[in-house]
Structure 1
Amino acid sequence: MKYKLEAGQKLDPNEFILKGFEDLEISTQIVIRDALNRGLEVEVLDRPSHFIRLKGQGVTRLVKEASKTELDSYMTFLVMENKTVTKRILEESNILVPKGTAVSDLNAGLEFLNQNSDRKMVVKPVTTNFGIGISILPPSSSQEGKKKALEIALGFSETAIVEEFAEGNEYRFLVIGDECVAVCNRIPANVTGDGKKNIRELIEEKNSDPRRGVGHVTPLEKIRLDDTELNVLKESGRTTDTIPAAGETVFVRKNSNISTGGDSVDVTDIAHSSYKILAVQAAKAVEAKICGVDIIVKNLESEGDYRILELNFNPVLYIHNYPYSGKNRKVGEKILDVLGYSS
């Protein structure tokens, strides 16, 4: 099916649901809306895989899932998919990454963890998305805990990465072309108490926000109460019936992924320029034109210590266009710019 707006017709870029495209993930909806507003023809080639074709201004481009384009090679994708290779290339470019090792069997992983038992460690699959298969181990973790973390990671990939836990806050830097166009702080799924409602009720209230849905078709995902969330509450001595004090923030997830109910906070304006430059350098190191760079920093507003956690080959756009709080960075427009379409 092909779509094109009539002359003078415009779609509201602040409407996060695009009528007629509700089944597509929201990042793709952003690109479609912005493309139509530029007078381009949009053809949906395959709805289930969010595959579209853009035509206009003498240029034809294929786009999959909003940020997969011909500008990035298959090898660039393979490099970013493999965290071990990514770390190696970044280190060779004198870019700091967490110190660690890659293991392909349980015993090797346990040996490395035991050698670093006094430190907080992270265990994750060499290839993963949305925080899946990642475990954080506190100092002096039990052998059982270490073994479980390795088994989980190796269950998702033939190789697991075992590395130091980088202290600080994690931010997503979105690089498009030669520019860092947006910076987002992703906060783990949480609720704030009012002194009256219990945690379950607070989650239900927060999930009633129309921006929260299921399946990446809205800017935010609903907070769940599955085993992972219940275990996080249990570890903090709480249950779903606990009534937090007014103003008290309770986290129900440890990972900061928006896909598991986290909040997206735009911090582009306060991010120090050194980190934006670093993000662009990291993307260039793997020859990526569109890249999500995850950086841990201790103080975002001043130049200092950092670690790059990973590079993402298919970064979502909606956390920057429709953040939980902050400005719309209009990153769909930036995608069209780099694809060669003038505004």
Structure 2
Amino acid sequence: MGKQDEAVSRSQRGRTDKALGHRLKRLRNEAMKPADARGDGGKGGRPTAVALDLGWGRLLFAQTFADNEQIVEAMHQEGPARRDIAFYIRDPHVLLSLAPQELFLDPSHTYRLDLSTYRTGRRQARGYFIRRLASQADAEAVNAIYHSRGMVPVRPDFFWTNRDSRAVVYLVAEDVATGDVIGTVTGVDHHRVFDDPENGSSLWCLAVDPQCPHAGVGEMLVRQLAEHFKARGRSFMDLSVMHDNEQAIALYEKLGFHRIPVFAVKRKNPINEKLFTHPPAAYDQLNPYARIIVDEAHRRGVAVDITDADAGFFRLSFGGRSIHCRESLSELTSAVAMSICDDKAVTRRIVEKAGLKVPEQLDAASGRKEIEAFLKKHGSVVVKPARGEQGSGVAVGLETVEDVENAVAAAKKVCDRVLLESFFEGEDLRLVVIDYRLVAAAVRRSARVVGDGRSTIKKLIENQSRRRAASTGGESRIPIDDETRRCVAGAGHTLDSVPAEGKEVVVRKTANLHTGGSIHDVTEEVHPALVDAACTAARAIDIPVVGIDFMVQSPSRPEYVFIEANERPGLANHEPQPTAERFVDLLFPRTGLKSAKQALGARE
């Protein structure tokens, strides 16, 4: 090529780049229009480049965009801490070739329910009912469920301001007995959004509280939404589901959904990172308590080496610093502090000297007469192994010598030394203290089932245990053992009894998560006196990460009795509180948001 040809070529490239720049600017302006913007209009005046804001991000209907370049540019406008989804992509290989460093193909399947042939199910909601989102409290409850399921949160005011939308419908499931919101689903009416020529609709954000005591809530939410769109005359309802979510896929296929060749594309952002990067070896074998920390470390660029996945061991490294952890137990916790927490009698003496209120205690080896006198004095007692965790061998609310002796025999299978404590009636409160500051507080409630008028207590326990195991990665189950039988018998039932519909039966008196208990966040309402006592206990033990357990009349009242300290609290149980963030802050303070702002010269 001669110099003159080169000059012409450069000139042409310049004009092309300039024209492309003008086009990108025009596309950027188009992409940033409100969700209901009509654009230039397509055939028949239909809106183009439709990006519907759903609070957690925008839903881009690919069929309304002029070309793939326009979709790429719209995805580029994704807001911070949001997850945009480009849906109905027909040629993802072409789209991804335009921005391989920014976009990735979502590893989800698309399923469709043909509403013209859909038939209403016979199953009825028992113990709960489905309704529209109707209050700010509903919006906050939905957000709490999103947090518990690892979903992107939405500003509560966004739900509230869009509650009367004709294009988007928010349904919730409400527990009849408690009034709590236990499930949610979002529906999008494509006809209302962009005059869809296919007359379709779609389902998004199906989520059920992992501690929900009722069966079939997810199914009823899906059915209710399907019936809603069928009544509107829509032809189908689509949804996107992760390819390995076997439980959800089985539900959808049971309801009549079938796969269609439609794809979704997302941006490579921190929220989506685990979808487009390869996790470290053995990541899938980690339990939720280790995984939440590993995920937070990855998000910050901290190197992770999983040393024993089955036991939850991993090593974190950053900036020349390396710390070995077992879940929330790290090398920063001394062997002395750990041994104090391990021996419940020692823990009690240490915190009592620090001024905390503790229950009266007796060694079970003291003899039958001493046990009788102790029981007579307090009326009801707790039996626990001197060493142990996860509620193993603990029996609560014992009122007879025979029950105490049986509980002591069971506790000795966990530890040779067994303790009796005076029983304090109230709620079980866990306070997570990291770096001697409160990070989370939650009331732990014992396992219970709700009757349906047809199933035995044993069957209800098995069903509830299966749901708890599925929602906690196998970490929470209700054992059917002597303690369960004793608790059920104390309520006047046997395992073969059939409780009336809506009747609640407590089947364990211990509130430990591993034996089927549930946990309810109370961080915003916990009394300052309880916070001070928990932090004082942590300093007395000299432990940087600890779960302090109190029995309280109410989280909002100052009365308490110290129960025990756990040197390895389960941080995953306390979402949406930032437990994993504060843990990694403790280990690697230079990776935290505050340090990043200071490094960039930003003010707090």
User: Which TM-score tier does this pair reach, normalised by the shorter chain?
Assistant: 0.7 to 0.9
Name which of structure 1's ranges 130-139 and 117-126 shifts more when overlaid on structure 2.
130-139
Give, in angstroms, the shift of residue 14 of structure 1. Answer: 11
Provide closer, same or farther for how the CA distance between residues 67 and 13 of structure 1 changes in structure 2, counting only shifts above 3 A: farther
Pairwise mapping of residues 158-237 of structure 1 onto structure 2 (< 5 A)?
158-207=416-465, 209=467, 212-213=469-470, 217-218=473-474, 221-237=476-492
CA RMSD, aligned part only? 2.7
Q: Which amino acid counterpart does residue 83 of structure 1 have in structure 2?
A: K
Provide closer, same or farther for how the CA distance between residues 276 and 12 of structure 1 changes in structure 2, counting only shifts above 3 A: farther
Give, in angstroms, the shift of residue 154 of structure 1. Answer: 3.7
Give, in angstroms, the shift of residue 205 of structure 1. Answer: 4.6
Partner of 1:120: 380
Deviations 1:58-111 (A, max 9, x none): 4322111x11111110010001101111111111111111012335x3xx1423
Whether the 8 Å contact between 1:24 and 1:217 is mirrored in structure 2 is no
Q: Which amino acid counterpart does residue 270 of structure 1 have in structure 2?
A: E
Distance 2:536 2:382 in 1: 25
Provide closer, same or farther for how the CA distance between residues 137 and 270 of structure 1 changes in structure 2, counting only shifts above 3 A: closer
Distance 1:90 1:340 in 2: 29
Distance 2:586 2:418 in 1: 35
Partner of 2:7: none
Distance 1:306 1:169 in 2: 10
Distance 1:94 1:239 in 2: 43
Q: Which amino acid counterpart does residue 96 of structure 1 have in structure 2?
A: K
Pairwise mapping of residues 228-307 of structure 1 onto structure 2 (< 5 A)?
228-303=483-558, 305-307=559-561
> Quick check: 1:339 aligned with 2:587?
yes
Whether the 8 Å contact between 2:465 and 2:516 is mirrored in structure 1 is no
> Quick check: 1:131 aligned with 2:395?
no
Give, in angstroms, the shift of residue 198 of structure 1. Answer: 4.1
**Normalised TM-score (structure 2):** 0.49
Distance 1:98 1:176 in 2: 25
Deviations 1:240-283 (A, max 9, x none): 44333343211111211110111111111121121112111101
Distance 2:496 2:566 in 1: 38
Distance 1:294 1:41 in 2: 33
SS at match of 1:97: coil
Partner of 2:563: 309
Question: Which of 30, 35, 43 lines up with 2:305 in the alignment?
Answer: 43
Name which of structure 1's ranges 307-316 and 112-121 shifts more when overlaid on structure 2.
112-121
Pairwise mapping of residues 29-68 of structure 1 onto structure 2 (< 5 A)?
29-64=291-326, 66-68=327-329
> Quick check: 1:320 aligned with 2:577?
no
SS at match of 1:337: helix
Provide closer, same or farther for how the CA distance between residues 247 and 25 of structure 1 changes in structure 2, counting only shifts above 3 A: same
Provide closer, same or farther for how the CA distance between residues 14 and 287 of structure 1 changes in structure 2, counting only shifts above 3 A: farther
Give, in angstroms, the shift of residue 24 of structure 1. Answer: 1.1
Provide closer, same or farther for how the CA distance between residues 227 and 151 of structure 1 changes in structure 2, counting only shifts above 3 A: closer
Deviations 1:279-333 (A, max 9, x none): 1110110001000100011122122x21100011111112112xxxxxx113111
Give, in angstroms, the shift of residue 239 of structure 1. Answer: 3.4
> Quick check: 1:93 aligned with 2:354?
yes
Provide closer, same or farther for how the CA distance between residues 126 and 150 of structure 1 changes in structure 2, counting only shifts above 3 A: same
Provide closer, same or farther for how the CA distance between residues 224 and 163 of structure 1 changes in structure 2, counting only shifts above 3 A: closer
Give, in angstroms, the shift of residue 25 of structure 1. Answer: 1.3
SS at match of 1:117: helix
Whether the 8 Å contact between 1:191 and 1:206 is mirrored in structure 2 is yes
Deviations 1:199-232 (A, max 9, x none): 34544553454x6339x635x6233444543443
The answer to which structure, 1 or 2, has the higher relative contact order (CA under 8 A, 6+ apart) is 1
Distance 2:343 2:272 in 1: 38
Aligned residue pairs total: 320
Distance 2:356 2:314 in 1: 35
Provide closer, same or farther for how the CA distance between residues 12 and 87 of structure 1 changes in structure 2, counting only shifts above 3 A: farther
Partner of 2:177: none
SS at match of 1:170: strand
Unpaired segments ≥5 residues, structure 1: 1-5, 322-327
SS at match of 2:530: helix
Question: Which of 405, 414, 424 lines up with 1:156 in the alignment?
Answer: 414
Name which of structure 1's ranges 283-292 and 128-137 shifts more when overlaid on structure 2.
128-137
Q: Which amino acid counterpart does residue 181 of structure 1 have in structure 2?
A: V
Provide closer, same or farther for how the CA distance between residues 208 and 337 of structure 1 changes in structure 2, counting only shifts above 3 A: same
Q: Which amino acid counterpart does residue 36 of structure 1 have in structure 2?
A: H
Provide closer, same or farther for how the CA distance between residues 146 and 49 of structure 1 changes in structure 2, counting only shifts above 3 A: closer
SS at match of 1:259: helix
Distance 2:413 2:340 in 1: 21
Unpaired segments ≥5 residues, structure 2: 1-100, 103-267, 593-604
Whether the 8 Å contact between 2:451 and 2:501 is mirrored in structure 1 is yes
Q: Which amino acid counterpart does residue 212 of structure 1 have in structure 2?
A: A
Q: Which amino acid counterpart does residue 341 of structure 2 have in structure 1?
A: M
Provide closer, same or farther for how the CA distance between residues 149 and 233 of structure 1 changes in structure 2, counting only shifts above 3 A: closer
Partner of 2:109: none
Whether the 8 Å contact between 1:22 and 1:217 is mirrored in structure 2 is no
Provide closer, same or farther for how the CA distance between residues 127 and 111 of structure 1 changes in structure 2, counting only shifts above 3 A: same
Give, in angstroms, the shift of residue 155 of structure 1. Answer: 4.1
SS at match of 1:131: coil
Whether the 8 Å contact between 1:137 and 1:146 is mirrored in structure 2 is no
Distance 1:148 1:231 in 2: 11
Whether the 8 Å contact between 1:98 and 1:164 is mirrored in structure 2 is yes
Partner of 1:10: 270
